[in-house]
Chains A and B, each alone.
Chain A
Amino acid sequence: MPKTLAEKVYDAHVVRSTEGEPDLLYIDLHLVHEVTSPQAFDGLRAAGRTVRHPELTMATEDHNVPTLDILAPIADPVSRAQVEALRKNAAEFGIRLAPMGDRDQGIVHVIGPQLGLTQPGMTIVCGDSHTSTHGAFGALAFGIGTSEVEHVLATQTLPQYRPKQMSVTVEGELAPGVSAKDVILAVIAQIGTNGAAGHVIEYRGSAIEALSMEARMTICNMSIEAGAKAGLIAPDRTTFDFLQGRPHAPQGADWDAAVEYWSTLRTDEGAVFDAEVVLDAGTLTPFVTWGTNPGQGLPISERVPDPAQIADEGERHAAEQALAYMGLTPGTPLTEIEVDTVFLGSCTNGRIEDLRVAADLLRGKRIDAGTRMLVVPGSVGVKNQAEAEGLDRVFVEAGAEWRGAGCSMCLGMNPDQLKPGERSASTSNRNFQGRQGKGGRTHLVSPSVAAATALTGRLTAPADLTTA
């Protein structure tokens, strides 16, 4: 029977399957960070259990990490205690940890691919919903809760029900200045913030195949913002080229064996999807969100929607609440919305290619005098590479702040936060109420829209920048 890519990866990891019970799925790689793991390690200790495969587990510090003075102890005692708990747990259970200051430290979803630990056909989990990022390599990767973290630590498996299959096909060519972020924001706006619940999304089509690995990661990263279990893309030459030579990628004869297997990881002709979504890449333009969930987005050339014109009562009510929180008036052109802060970074858009795109727009220019711009590389590796390319100087000379690696302003767990009422254009993944700090207002954007917005102080498409 023809299978989808996701079904192939799933089936290759079934340890045990019995009627009336969930399948037991083997987990090839377990990524761990400080926020969702301490209670899981406590659970192991309380039950007298150990970590079954420390060598299939990799930990990093990212959510609580300050992006200034990263070698000093964390000032917030609660954050510090959480990071110290991870250090103690990693040492006690023999797990590799990339702590602050380490060359491998960074956001968990940036370092997995960077180290070559993320490979096609694997099952990858982490106590973090953006684990879907790793699907860009043709891995089945998904976020789990802390109880499941404990389960994977103890058994290297998870009980799972077979997910439904959804295809998102994007054909054609993206216009200049339109990026992977715009594609995924458009997808989420179309299917809704939980529209893919119960499904794994496979992204397909010529526009997806043309994307770099960084861009594919941006798309798969936000699968969860459509409610999907995971999102993945069939591995191809682009994938193999990205992986070859990375520290943990196979070498020599192993590389050849791996590529032979990886090349089979494609959806079969005739495989059935439970749901199908089709987008024309040529019609897409830069996308921004206006509301308080990632599905509330529009092309940047549009206006703030009028809830009175929304027929569905629930959606109308949600739009009213969102606009009240966001402090926006229906009918306002999105390009007239002024921002206080621009955030470039996160597991969605904190990779080298994202920084290059933004730097290209900022080179030789100054950002708006009333706007603050934070540039936060997703990992120490990305930071070092950016500095080797001179990108840090471009940002600093433009008036932006160049920071250390971490989750930073994506979520309010470290010192990088919006103040109440402040408004941001952010390359991160969530515009939920208070996500970037209590009372903060977030507009999700691509790296190029972020850079263009920093130059003007209001939401701006790169194509609309005057050359004057």
Chain B
Amino acid sequence: MDAFTTHTGTAAPLRRSAVDTDQIIPAEYLKRITRTGFEDGLFVAWRTNEPDFVLNKPEYADASILVAGPDFGTGSSREHAVWALLDGGFRVVISSRFADIFKNNSTKSGLLTVVLPQADVEALWAAVEADPTTPVTVDLQTKQVTYGDTTVPFEIQDYVRWRLLEGLDDVGLTERHLDDIEAFEGRRPAWLPTALPALPAL
């Protein structure tokens, strides 16, 4: 994946809570077997049915930072939601709380999810609504979000931060510990099930 160090761009205020991954990208777009090209499905129902939807407004068309309400990314585990956001030009999502699987998926593809207190989210909403051209900088090295005269620190696990800064692939990291995996496998009880061979039904 691409490394993430720091990003500066404009931000779109998505004043909605509990945005589920079915809204980020509906299931019909999940039939594709590619890993890119999902931008046409990004928030497609809201973009189609709601003329006032924030991403339909020209002033937010080039936004690369999405500032969402609490509980962003609930529901389905579809990593396509992360891919659609990246394909749609977003590098960062800011919310006061994310759903676990979405947040975890985001770290695998280089989309940075930043948790800020709701009061800071509200202040950022107000700033980018007042002036949609406000540059917002999200710096993973210093763990800070900066816009105008405001700087807000954020927390992220050191290990996750290191992986994102380096753009490292998890599988490669785990393969360094094959000895541990083999040792563990030697200790597994023999009665644990295997799917092969297929056994006759009852």
Contact = CB atoms under 8 A, between A and B. Distances in A.
A116 interface: yes
B148 interface: no
Contacts of B104: 144-145, 148
Range of interface residues on A (Cβ < 8 Å): 35 or more
Interface string B148-177: 000000000111000000000011011101
A258 B191 contact: yes
Interface string B59-93: 00000000001110011111110100000000000
B194 A38 contact: no
Given A155-B181, A197-B97, A117 B35 contact: no
B27 A248 contact: no
A161 B16 CA distance: 29
Which one of B184, B190, B195 has the greatest number of beta carbons of chain A within 10 Å? B195
A399 interface: no
Contacts of A42: 33, 35
Nearest to B174: A155
B133 interface: no
Given A76-B31, A155-B175, A197-B99, A249 B193 contact: yes
Which one of A47, A146, A193, A315 has the greatest number of beta carbons of chain B within 10 Å? A146
Contact of A47 (B108, B171, B201): B171
A411 B27 contact: yes
Contact of A318 (B18, B80, B195): B18
Interface in A61-112: 63-64, 76, 78-79, 81-82, 85, 95-96, 103-104
A227 B28 CA distance: 23
B100 interface: yes
A36 interface: yes
A21 interface: yes
A433 B33 contact: no
Contacts of A24: 174, 177, 180-181
A78 B34 CA distance: 11
B20 A432 contact: yes
B27 A198 contact: no
A55 B195 contact: yes
B174 A430 contact: no
B13 to A, nearest CB: 13
B119 interface: no
A4 to B, nearest CB: 18
Interface in A15-73: 15-16, 20-22, 24, 26, 28-29, 35-36, 38-39, 42, 47, 49, 54-58, 63-64
Contacts of A317: 15-17
A11 to B, nearest CB: 13
A193 B71 contact: yes
Contacts of A257: 189, 191
Given A35-B30, A155-B171, A314 B193 contact: no
Contacts of A225: 75
B130 interface: no
13 contacts: A42-B35, A54-B196, A55-B196, A95-B195, A103-B201, A119-B193, A122-B192, A129-B75, A144-B101, A159-B174, A197-B98, A227-B99, A412-B28
Given A35-B31, A39-B34, A155-B174, 4 more contacts: A49-B171, A104-B198, A154-B175, A257-B189
